[in-house]
Amino acid sequence: MKLRFTNARIVCPDTGVRDGDLFVDDGVIVDSLDDADTIDCRGKTLAPGIIDFGVATVDAAACRAGGIVRVALMPDGVPVLDDPGIVQRVALMGKPDLWIHPIAAATRGLDGRDLAEMAICCSAGAKAVGTGRHWIADSGVMARVLAYAHDLDIAVVTHAEDGGMTAGAVATDGETATRLGLPSAPATAEALAIARDLMLAEAADARLHIRQVTTKAGLDLVRAAKRRGVRVTCGITPAHLHLSDIAMSDFRTFAHLSPPLRAESDRRAAIAAIADGTIDVIASGHDPRGPEEKRLPFADSSPGMAGAETLLALSLMLVRDGQVSLDRLFALLARNPASVLGLESGTLRTGMPADLLLFDSAAPWRIDGERFAAAGNTPFDGLPVEGRVLRLWKGGREIRAA
C-alpha cells in the first residue's frame, strides 16, 4: 500500500517539527512517491505511534483510543513470563494491530532467588528482563541478573522500592499519610533501591532501566549516574508528574498507586527531571482495577490505575506548560522506549516502520473513567484535558476502532 499524508504538522523526535507531507510504501516511511493514496491530515499533528513501556494488562481497545501501537508487557502476569513458550505466545497474540513486547521475568516465578532462562526467553521474543512489581532483595542475585543481561545486551527493568521498608505500606510518609492514618513508608526506600542497583549495574557495565523514579533523591542519583557514564535510563507516569499525595485525601482509592504518590516537592523535582533530560520515558502505568479491588478501605484496596487512554492528553500538558517541546515529548513516548527495548521504531525517519498517530492537540474533552474501554479507575476522573487521537496506523495499516 502506498500512502501520502498531506497538510500535516509532522513531529519526529529526531528531526523536529515541520509542516508538509509524509510518504509510506509497503508499511515503511520513504522519501517520496509518484503515485499514492492521499490522506489529508487537515493541519492536524502526525507523530510516531506511542510505545507504552511497562503495562500490567494488555487492553487493545484502550491502546487504540490512546494512540499506542506497541506495549512492553510486565512479567507479572498469570502465568509469570518466565517460560519461553509463554513469552512466545504473548509476543504473537496482539498482532497485527498491537505489537506486544514481553519483559521476561529475571528470576523464576519472580521469587528473587533463582535466575530464569533469560537467554531462551529472549530468543522467544522477550525484549528485556525485569523484576516485576517488586525489588530483588538479594544483592548477589541482582548482580548475577545484571551480569547475565550484560552478556545478552538487554536491559534489566527494575522496580525501585526497598521491600524491607515498604512492606505493608500504601502511602509515603508525610502529612497526608499521618492525617489519614495510613500505613506508610519513607520516600528514601526508593533512593536506597536505586543506589544499590546503580552500583551493581555500573560494576557489570549492564543496561538498567528503572521503570518509575518518583522522588527527588532517586532522580538525583540517576542524574549523577548518567554523568558518570552508567548505562541507566528511567521512566515515570503522568500520575507522578501531575499529582502529589494530596490526591489521596478523603481516602480516594483511585489514587492508590504503586509506587505511591509522593510529596509536592518530589513532584516538582520530577517535572524538572523531565525538562533536563534525566527522565527518559513517560509511560501510562496501565494497571486497571475493577470495583471489587477499589471499593474497599484504602489500605485494603489494590494499587493501580487505567492509564492507556489518557497518556497522550496528560503528556501534552507538559508541552502546553513549556516543560518540553513537542518533538522531545515524542522522544519520551516513542523513540526512547524503542531504544530501551532495542526496536527499530519510534521515529519518522526514512526506512522506519510506518507506525503513525494522527491527533488533534487542541481538541478539548473531559476524562470520564466510566466511558473508558478498560476499567475506569483513574485518579484524573473529571479533569478537562486537550488532545484527541484521530487515526492510528501500524506498519502502514490503519487500526480502526472496534
306-334 pLDDT per residue, tens: 999 999 999 999 999 999 999 999 999 99
Where residue 133 sits, what CATH number does that domain have? 3.20.20.140
Note the pLDDT tens digit of each residue in 55-77: 999 999 999 999 999 999 999 98
Q: What is the pLDDT of residue 67?
A: 97
Task: Report yes or no on 42 lying in a domain.
Answer: no
| Distance set, CA 342 to CA 72, 89, 91, 339, 369 (Å) | 12, 20, 15, 5, 33
Q: What is the pLDDT of residue 376?
A: 81
Question: Domain range for residue 192?
Answer: 50-348+364-383
Q: How many domains does the chain have?
A: 1
Does pLDDT of 402 surpass 80? Answer: no
Q: In 211-365, which ranges are continuous DSSP H helix?
A: 216-228, 238-242, 264-276, 291-294, 311-320, 326-330, 336-341
Paired with 99 in beta bridges are 70
Task: Report yes or no on 96 lying in a domain.
Answer: yes
Does pLDDT of 94 surpass 90? Answer: no
Q: What is the pLDDT of residue 1?
A: 84
Task: Report yes or no on 402 lying in a domain.
Answer: no
Cα atoms in the Cβ-side hemisphere of radius 13 Å centred on 38: 9
Helices (H) and strands (E) in the chain, counts: 14, 18
Task: Report yes or no on 4 lying in a domain.
Answer: no
Task: Report yes or no on 19 lying in a domain.
Answer: no
Q: What is the pLDDT of residue 77?
A: 87
Task: Report yes or no on 401 lying in a domain.
Answer: no
Task: Report yes or no on 131 lying in a domain.
Answer: yes
Task: Report yes or no on 397 lying in a domain.
Answer: no
